Structure 1
């Protein structure tokens, strides 16, 4: 019987030090534990590092403890830890990250092979972990929209994503977005099941 499991890792800069839109993935993951009726987050060692984890029978939620731009090796090590416990054919990797191209709070599934569009966290993960080695494991990205400033020069965009998140932005990311992320996980599982059964 097909028993799918999901490793869901959020990318961002470590909280609470960096409470910015760039850490939208972490805020969404905070609320996702509740949306999926998961146990609360607790500190554990995974991928040889201490990190916040919510472990349930189907979903393992992990907040990457590293800076965004160097998250790849941590994600790869956690994936290796999980593959030792589960058959890779029944394990999916889901990366939750911020997305400038979408309005605040818009959630969508993004194909793994889609361009990172300058997102250094995604670039780092792809450099450290090759999906080709796990052809039966769905690797997917969940992009969480954070909107973008009117001007697109690098300095303005950088300030926008790294400034302290407002209370309202945080409410949207932690209380609204997680339910949409949970829905995307259901869609992902349905699609995966139909592929396995055909």
Structure 2
């Protein structure tokens, strides 16, 4: 892949739970890609990369609602040019709209329901940056979410621990699907023109495996 691939995970500091699925998967990817352990670069983010820096893994150290601050600090400190299509940034997050273990690639919507994604979108807007097709969401499914859940119920649920069997699905099936997605993104050199078509292509590929 000619482009530089950047994986940026969002979540909360502290023990792992549903809302920290992005961090959980990033930790697995550190081992999968056989790169050095994450190093705390600032209070707001930790980072590692492969030898030629074509792959960069970043963990937000802020709370979910402040993910945009961590993202902004990373972009500024590492001098990442969001106007350059030489970079492809994927935000790893817990997707409560998707079945556990599934993965979905998407662009930023006008009204994001996920607070971490919403915070990053706000930071991009404030910087007058439309991200030029460089930044995408890569959600790891943690659903199904509770039926007819109120805002308070949802807040409690996403902050609760995985059941043992759920965590096993995330760390096996979820990781396998995620790495397959990443492999295909690398194969097409990060050239994602239509996320819906890409997800449909991936669903067909995974079904055939």
Instruction: State the TM-score, normalized to the length of structure 2.
Output: 0.77
Deviations 1:138-178 (A, max 9, x none): 21000111111134122222221111223332233233323
Task: Give 1:60-99 correspondences, 5 Å limit.
Answer: 60-83=56-79, 88-99=84-95
Deviation at 1:81?
A: 2.9
**In the alignment, does 2:19 pair up with 1:22?**
yes
CA separation in 2, counterparts of 1:8 and 1:128? 17
Corresponding residue for residue 2 of structure 2: 3
Confirm whether residue 119 of structure 1 aligns to residue 114 of structure 2. yes
The residue that corresponds to 1:128 in the other structure is: 123
Work out the CA distance in 1 between the residues paired with 2:69 and 2:179: 26
Q: For structure 1, which runs of at least 5 residues remain unmatched after alignment?
A: none
Q: Counterpart in 2 of 1:164?
A: 161
Q: Give distance in 2, aligned partners of 1:160 and 1:50.
A: 25
| Shift >4 Å, 4+ stretches | 84-87, 134-137
Higher mean C-alpha deviation, range 143-152 or range 101-110? 143-152
**Match for residue 196 of structure 2?**
none
Distance 2:129 2:170 in 1: 33
Alignment match of 2:43 (pick from 15, 26, 49): 49
Deviation of the 1:66 alpha carbon? 0.7
CA RMSD of aligned residues (A): 2.7
Is contact 2:44-2:62 (8 Å) kept? no
Structure 2 counterpart of 1:184:
181
Counting matched residue pairs gives 188
- CA–CA separation in structure 2 for the residues paired with 1:65 and 1:80: 16
Residue 96 of structure 2 is aligned to residue 100 of structure 1: yes
With structure 1 as the length reference, what TM-score do the two structures score? Answer: 0.81
